[in-house]
Amino acid sequence: MQTTTPAKVSVALNPVPGFCVKSWATNDALVRLSAPGDSDIHVKKGLKIFINIAWDQNIPPPPPASDDAIQRAMQGLDVDESNPEAWFVPIVLSDARQDSDKGRHHMNSVHVVPLRYLSPMNIRRLTLSTAGRSAIVFDCGLHPFIKSRCLKDPDFKSFIIGIHPSIPFPFPTSPLTLELAFQRIETQTTLVLSRQIGMPNIASKGKPQSRRVLVSAALYPPGHPNHQSPPTLIQEIADQPTRVPQKTQPKTILKQSSTKTPNSQHRIPAWSCAQQGASIRIVFDVPGVVSKLSPLRCNQVTGVILTQARAVIPDSTLDVEPRRILIHIPALYDLDLNLDASDAELVSVFGKNDTSNEALKLKRMRNLDVDNARAEWRVADRTIVLLT
């Protein structure tokens, strides 16, 4: 069984302050931190949230694109994430840190993902009293290309932070604008941020923190010292029969198998997840794969195709990314668990085998630890166990 992960490079960030946005939490939440030993932050409804927009040359720039392609992305018209030509904005988001008049507590761990367009949430118009309370701060780092574009294009600034340039204070968000920074925070945490926001007359709430992070090398442009071509998700095994190209299928969260036979019944395996110490333990049930076949056992399991493990393990693959898991077991199972998908998408797909609650729970946990991930196929138990 093969596990492939995207190549990553370690880069040092020293973000330069750009501007600061102030919002509020519209819900009680527990903001989990990824660094070992750091205490999670309990956030109460109404707590002030500051987002520092900062610039750093070591963050990958968006891919080259025409003004027309950028405008299409800003309008939400180019949202096919499977299209390598689609335009997107890489964002580096820090863990939360607490801010108060008596001092600051800083957490170093961050996650790096290319953030593409996400559908705007319903606007919540709330009047909140936050005088005298502490605050939570996030650093949102972007490549300086974004700064120059924001300065000359007010609509592009709206695309980054969700503020419509024609609307005065308190800047209620236009439903037509995209909210990359806010939605990145809401995706990484369980917070829901108010869309009535302020623009403090400060470059940043506290100094954006210097830190070292892991960045996907595929995000850097060709010719950049950190650039590496992305690995293929499914690696071909030597001396396998040539696979016949398939017709293009409609876009779906479920990965389509590259080959199908009349007797194949690809299914989404049932699975569950749980916190195990500092790790996340995910167990995938694969009852169709057994250590030894017998006619009696085949007759007892109605509707389940049994396949001997040694026949499928060499061609099976497990791919782990910070926000995605893919499993392919020939003729039996296909799983594409995209944790950046919307809640509605996850419920639609994983509700078919009653694992939608697990998908929503995992989505709200921290990013998957790709570098320290371990997987074990327990044939006797008919399970695959992933620790990350």
pLDDT at 104 over 50: no
What does the pLDDT read at residue 159? Answer: 65
Distance CA 158, CA 181 (A): 11
Average pLDDT over residues 1-21: 79
Taking CA 358 as the corner, what is the angle to CA 323 and CA 218, rounded to the nearest 5 degrees?
A: 10
> What is the DSSP pairing of strand 2-4 with strand 317-321?
parallel
Q: pLDDT confidence of 293, banded at 50, 70, 90?
A: very low
Q: Which class is 271-387 in CATH?
A: mainly beta
What does the pLDDT read at residue 319? Answer: 86
- For 195-262, the DSSP string reads S--B--SSS-SSPPPPEEEEEEGGGSPTTSTT--PPPPSSPPPTTPPPPPPPPPPPP-SSPPPS---T
Distance CA 193, CA 317 (A): 38
Q: pLDDT confidence of 373, banded at 50, 70, 90?
A: confident
Count helices and strands in the chain by DSSP H and E runs: 8, 21
- Among 139-153, 175-189, 229-243, name the one with the lowest average pLDDT: 229-243
- Give one word for 223, left, alpha or beta, with left for phi > 0 and alpha for psi -120 to 50: left
pLDDT at 173 over 50: no
Q: Where would I find the H helices in the chain?
A: 67-74, 144-152, 154-161, 180-188, 295-300, 309-312, 343-350, 356-363
Here the tokens at position 286 are: 């694969």
What does the pLDDT read at residue 284? Answer: 92
pLDDT at 30 over 70: yes
Backbone CA torsion sign across 228, 232, 238, 244: negative
What does the pLDDT read at residue 309? Answer: 61
Mean confidence (pLDDT) of the chain: 71
Which amino acid is it at 110?
V
Q: pLDDT confidence of 265, banded at 50, 70, 90?
A: low
Q: pLDDT confidence of 241, banded at 50, 70, 90?
A: low
What does the pLDDT read at residue 34? Answer: 75
- Among 6-15, 39-48, 111-120, 240-249, name the one with the lowest average pLDDT: 111-120
| Domain definitions of the chain by residue range | 2-219, 271-387
Average pLDDT over residues 94-115: 51
Give 46-71 pLDDT, tens digit per residue.
999 999 989 999 999 888 877 777 77
| CB neighbour burial string for 113-136, b if at least 16 within 10 angstroms, e if fewer | bbbbbbebbeeeeeeeeeeeeebb
User: What Cα–Cα distance (Å) separates residue 140 from each residue in 52, 74, 76, 252, 369?
Assistant: 6, 19, 21, 30, 21
Answer whether 313's CB lies under 8 Å from 336's CB: no
Distance CA 181, CA 53 (A): 8
What does the pLDDT read at residue 96? Answer: 92
Here the tokens at position 239 are: 């001396």
